[in-house]
Amino acid sequence: MSDELIGVLGIIALFVLLLLRIPVAFSIFAVGLVGVSILNGPGAAMSLLASETFTIASNAELIVVPLFILMGNIATETGMSRKLYDAAYALIGSIRGGLASATIVGCAGFAALCGSSVASALTMGRVSLSEMKRYDYSPKLSTGAVAAGGTLGILIPPSTGFVIYAILTQQSIGRLFLAGVLPGIMLCVLFVILITIMATIKPSLAPAGPKTSWWEKGQGMLGATPILLIILLTIGGIYTGIFSPVEAAAVGAGLATLFGVAMRKLSLTSFWRASQGAITTTATVMLILIAAHMLNPFLALSHIPSALGEFLTSLDMGPYGVLLIILACYLVLGCFLEGFAMLVLTMPIFFPVITSLGFDPIWFGVLVVLTLEMGLISPPVGVNVFIVKSVAPNVPLKDIFIGVMPFWLVMLVAILLMVMFPSIVLTLPNAMMN
């Protein structure tokens, strides 16, 4: 049996295991270990298990994962997300579709505190859905806005998606964080424009909210000051080179704790809950990452990535044709696979192809993370849609999926814009970290 055939059988076995509900990490571990054992002997597989497990678990750069998760958890526990929504509400809530737009802006703000899309959707959903219901917003629009807005969590830094991409492809976390800023803001603006257009065409979808005075606007902004300060110090610290991403994450977690205690919103119990939540989420992420480091050698030994690269280049479609095929694969896979698992599974295969075609790895990273975002709201496994459903149990799942569709199309437009104008992604990292 040829190495390539063993590789293909391994990938098929992996998909079968995944569809049989075997946890993603265990499936990847099993296929990687068995594959390496077949191709290079059981001894090689076992030594890989020992070395990779300890190397990944003691990787200094990966400390950002638990630290940023902790920062987000503390922000949730202390109700800082509510303050963000209140500020956005006070500023733009009175315009047509303003509450949905405020949700998107609130999600973007929260995304700058927390690298998780699910956490963003859940937190903002709890805060905003009841308000939108009170003002007779269409349930499709309101739930769609929350689910789509939540996805900004993995595009706007700090983002767990970028950290994992950086580790898998040996890219700079700082550059990726910088690269995500403009696309994140652009997507946020595109979402707001979409909501405004929808509300203008069909006013019954999103009636205008109550007018707010300048005093209320000021109060709203004042309430969000601690969060804005944390974002400014942590993310700004990375961009100006004052902090490394790891230090920024620790400073952010420290500041969130400090503000929480000062505002009397953070008790010892809630702090402990946030910390324990951070270590369990970290365990989930890190186990998949360790498993990925078992799968990568198997795929390399089977020569699948190089064979696929040769096949794609032989199609004579040009670099952009190949890129579009790869992105299309992500969109299809996103309908069935959890985004993080998809990243881990596909990167060893697609990344060598992308670099051999001469594309910028940072630019490709942002495109991939955006397609992962789309997967979060794609039927049938749109995780964010299920999260919103858990917060809005009375809205049928079908309506939420219909509600997110316009946002999904806007994301597609954003991807096309970034493919056509790579400077949207690369301007900031090139200007600040060259």
Residue list 344-403, contact with other proteins (CB under 8 A)? 380-381
Q: Which is nearer to other proteins, 209 or 245 (CB)?
A: 245
| Contact residues for 148 (Cβ-Cβ < 8 A; gap 6+) | 104, 191, 377, 384, 404, 407, 408, 410, 411
Nearer to other proteins, 46 or 416 (CB): 46
Cα 359 to Cα 305: distance, rounded to the nearest angstrom: 17
Q: Crossing angle for the helix pair 268-302 and 42-57, nearest 10 degrees? A: 150
Q: How far is 10 from 298, CA to CA, in rounded Å?
A: 9
DSSP state of 213: -
- Distance, in Å, from the CA atom of 161 to the CA atom of 143, rounded to the nearest integer, reads 24
Identify the residue among 67, 87, 155, 192 touching other proteins (CB under 8 A). Answer: 67
Contacts of 300 (CB under 8 A, 6+ apart): 348
What's the distance, CA 393 to chain centroid? Answer: 24
Please give the Cα distance from 427 to 175 (Å, whole number).
11
Binding of other proteins by 279 (CB under 8 A)? yes
Least separation in angstroms between residue 56's CB and other proteins is: 8
The window from 14-22, 173-181, 200-208, 305-313 that contacts other proteins (CB under 8 A) reads 14-22
Binding residue for other proteins, selected from 3, 13, 208, 254, defined by CB under 8 A: 254
Question: Nearest approach, Cβ of 49 to other proteins (angstroms)?
Answer: 5
Q: Which of 12, 16, 41, 59 binds other proteins (CB under 8 A)?
A: 59
Dig out the tokens for 245 from the structure: 């991403």
Please give the Cα distance from 252 to 23 (Å, whole number): 32
- 3-state secondary structure at position 242: coil
Residue written as token pair 């920062």 = 71
The Cα 239–Cα 245 span in angstroms is 9
Q: Output 108 or 341, the one with its CB closest to other proteins.
A: 341
Among 282, 296, 302, 384, binds other proteins (CB under 8 A): 282
Q: Which two tokens stand for residue 172?
A: 């700079």
Residue number with CB closer to other proteins (55 or 200): 55
Using rule CB under 8 A, residue 337 touches other proteins: yes
Query: In whole angstroms, how close is the CB of 430 to other proteins at the nearest point?
Result: 27
| Residue (of 236, 249, 238, 244) closest to 278 by Cα position | 249
Contact 388, 121 (CB under 8 A): yes
Stretch that binds other proteins, among 3-11, 207-215, 244-252, 418-426 (CB under 8 A): 244-252
Site for other proteins in 160-219 (CB under 8 A): none
CB of 84 to other proteins, least distance (A): 23
Based on the shown chain and the rule CB under 8 A, indicate whether residue 320 belongs to the binding site for other proteins: no
Specify the residue, 50 or 201, whose C-beta has the smaller distance to other proteins.
50
Total of chain residues touching other proteins, rule CB under 8 A: 55
Q: Is 40 among the residues that bind other proteins (CB under 8 A)?
A: no
Query: Which two three-digit tokens encode residue 168?
Result: 């898998």
> With binding defined as CB under 8 A, does residue 338 bind other proteins?
yes
Nearest distance, CB of residue 276 and other proteins, angstroms: 5
**Residues binding other proteins (CB under 8 A):** 18-26, 29-30, 33, 46-47, 49-51, 53-54, 57-60, 62-63, 66-67, 70, 243, 246-247, 250-251, 253-254, 272, 275-276, 278-284, 286-288, 336-338, 340-341, 380-381
